[in-house]
Amino acid sequence: MIKPHGSDELNPLYVTDASERDALQQEAEGLPSIVVSSATAANAVMLAGGYFNPLTGYMNKADALSVADNMHTVAGLFWPTPVLNLVENAGNIKAGDRIALKDPNIDGNPILAVMDVEAVETFSDEEMASMTQSIYRPAAGEEHIGANTFNSQGKVCLSGPIKVLNYSYFEKDFEGTFKTAVEIRQDIADLGWKKVVAFQTRNPMHLAHEELCHMAMDRLGCDGLVIHMLLGKLKKGDIPADVRDDAIRKMVELYFPENSAMVTGYGFDMLYAGPKEGVLHALFRQNMGATHFIIGRDHAGVGDHYGAFDAQTIFDNEVPEGALDIEIFRADHTAYSKKLDKVVMMSEAPDHEKDDFVLLSGTKVREMLGQGIAPPKEFSRPEVAKILIDYYQSQNS
């Protein structure tokens, strides 16, 4: 199986030993505590599950600036985006303290992790602006939801190793779908898959997405597919994770051979960081055991901040050779060809005009679903459309 990034074995930061976890929980009750941001909590969950291997906790200021600038920590570890615990005010917390990190996403703010604080540092306005530009690359003069979220957390950086006591709300709310990198590696081994392609999604999968996965599996000669959906915070208007889960599971049940595709999810908030997030997605898919990762048009994009294929070309222009072992499957926009009576990559149909494809905007599809109208079968499987129609109609009732 493919090695994790940066080490021979995964180093998940979840405390698996029950007695040690109970002791830490008891200790944490008496420690100084802070309620962290949702982004910081999501980082803890990813560290807990081994997705952010080989990191042992939150980055310090020097590492964060280095990663934002050139995708390497000061010590030389390749990493695409800073992994931070940012707060507005650290209060009396100082280097050398042991603190409890409380979960912002569960009522009562239960303790999520215990942290040994190695440094308390403050980013200047100029440093925050520089990191924002490097990570998110927002288009001039335009609002960027990811950049806004990043800058809303505060400028004080608490760095140091953590031990994680639970997986926040993800394990309970998405039972059977949320899985750690450790668990997915084990599932891949149990299935005997050697060559595995991963597909990232924060949306339901329409026919073009489904066929893209089939194309990738066929062209790469893969044993299996991991459909890996984001389960954390999204932007307003995105379809909730439980609805996506139902729709994707129905598609796999009906249109994929048995034991050829697994449907899973991970506990992280969407960054909307385009190319840099595409690299991060590839890195933690390597940690979960995938050998290949599909990156398509406008991967992890939002608005008009990125070029259509920036998340592919970053691997040519900015990711050093050998930095990651996982390989990228580069996909163009896929759509149903009326001429060929099948889904194709549009770049592979040079004799086509725009009208030769079945193309619907996201806005148009949402309007149709909200009115109880199923998109054409060339765009969406009817069984998937029904689940989405039921959701939109429930929102309108």
Report the greatest alpha carbon distance in the chain: 69
To the query of whether residue 203 is one of the catalytic residues in this protein, the response is yes
Q: How far, CA to CA in Å, does 357 sit from each of 39, 40, 208, 321?
A: 39, 42, 11, 37
Please tell me the number of Cα atoms within 13 Å of 386 on its side-chain side. Answer: 5
Residue 62: both structure tokens together: 């020097």
The partner residues of 345 in beta bridges, in order of sequence, read 334
Catalytic one among 21, 202, 330, 366?
A: 202
All residues at 6 or more sequence positions from 51 whose CB lies less than 8 Å from its CB, including other chains: 180, 181, 266, 268, 284, 287, 288
To the query of whether residue 21 is one of the catalytic residues in this protein, the response is no
Rounded Cα gap, residues 374 and 372, in angstroms: 6
Rounded Cα gap, residues 277 and 253, in angstroms: 30
Give the phi and the psi of residue 154 in degrees, each rounded to 5. 120, 175
Tokens 């149990």 belong to: 190
Catalytic one among 109, 137, 203, 366?
A: 203
Helix (H) or strand (E) holding 294, with range, is strand 292-295
Q: How far, CA to CA in Å, does 3 sit from each of 9, 194, 243, 283, 286?
A: 7, 12, 33, 11, 7
Q: How far, CA to CA in Å, does 77 sit from each of 58, 67, 74, 320, 376?
A: 14, 9, 8, 12, 48
Tokens 């048995």 belong to: 258
Annotated catalytic sites, by residue?
202-203
